[in-house]
Structure 1
Amino acid sequence: MKKDLQIRAANTDDASAISNVIAAALRESNAKDYSPTVIQRIERNFDPTAIVALINRRKVFVAVSARKVIGTASLDGDVIRTVFVSPAAQRQGVGTKLMAVIEELAREAGVGTLSVPSSVTAEQFYLGLGYQAVHDCFHGEERTIIMQRVLVPRDQQSSD
């Protein structure tokens, strides 16, 4: 885990940095599992203007290290969306920390079950966090795995 990692609410000034993290993750990580056409289509949905709209509509968070945005995740009701970590920062606990913040926020909001539309690329990550695949969803040739996890209320968690 990065020692100086901070998770904070995103603001509109973060839009370009968030867009860049998403584009890099799509091009480098997701490109192993999706065609260039799918990657380009998805990437168009996350330009800085679209990110500003998301920040105004969802609870969006960023992971920051060395004053640089290296990850993002958002909560939209009971659905986790737009979880991306810069390729250089993957497998260092950034995504796990983002997910912990999102899950805590969901618990505080009384959400009982969280869903996440997972890319093929991220399926193992979510399985490792206790999410289970529920069904596949296809948007053209893009396969998304809908995954869910029942949240245990804070007062019912064990203290081990």
Structure 2
Amino acid sequence: MGLVLRKAQLDDASAISTLIIAAIRQTNANDYPAALIESLPEHFSAGQIAARMSMRDTYVALDAGVVIGTASLDDMTVRSVFVLPEYQGRGAGLALMTQIEALALQRSISTLSVPSSITAEGFYKRLGYATIREVYEGVEKIIVMTKTLVP
């Protein structure tokens, strides 16, 4: 895999939407009720992604020019970290998180938080994030995690 990271561009919004929806339907489906999984994609349309990109620092991971992963920094919060299911476990998520953490340090942000899905909790724990609390948005369980960054 020839992984390349770069800042997302508006014309990436459709590809980002597609990969997020694929990850939700294929990976997160193991941990959440089917009705919730079916409702989540409406929050990740290309238009909504593009709108969020204007308020967040969004990055993409590419393999052979194809967008395979994404992550965003929204002030002190990591958001929307997703990798296409067929690329999960191959380093794209780690590379994206390394980029986000480096950006935070450049901005003198010393602590990051991430609202994790049940599915991604282990991933974030391996990166040094600790669970602070669990919250529910309807039936969706969200695990709020934080990490103190070391320069």
Deviations 1:61-104 (A, max 9, x none): 00000110000000000000000000000000110000000000
Q: Report how many aligned residue pairs link the two structures.
A: 151
Give the gaps of 5 or more residues in structure 1. Answer: 154-160
Give how far 1:55 is off.
Answer: 0.9
Instruction: Output aligned runs, 1:140-159, within 5 Å.
Output: 140-153=138-151
Q: Which has the larger radius of gyration?
A: 1
Note if 1:109 corresponds to 2:107: yes
In structure 1, how many angstroms separate the alpha carbons of the residues matched to 2:44 and 2:141? 18
Gap regions ≥5 residues in structure 2: none
Asked whether 1:12 is paired with 2:23, we answer no
Give 1:41 shift: 2.3
Partner residue of 1:29 out of 27, 30, 49? 27
TM-score under structure 2 length normalisation: 0.98
2:38 corresponds to which residue?
40
List structure 1 segments (4+ residues) > 6 angstroms apart after TM superposition: none
Matched, 1:87 2:104: no
Q: TM-score, normalised by structure 1?
A: 0.93
Aligned partners of 2:135, 2:76: CA distance in 1, in Å?
18
Give the CA RMSD over aligned residues: 0.6
2:127 alignment counterpart? 129
Query: Percent identical across equivalent pairs?
Result: 46
Q: Write the distance in 2 (CA, Å) between the matches of 1:124 and 1:23.
A: 20
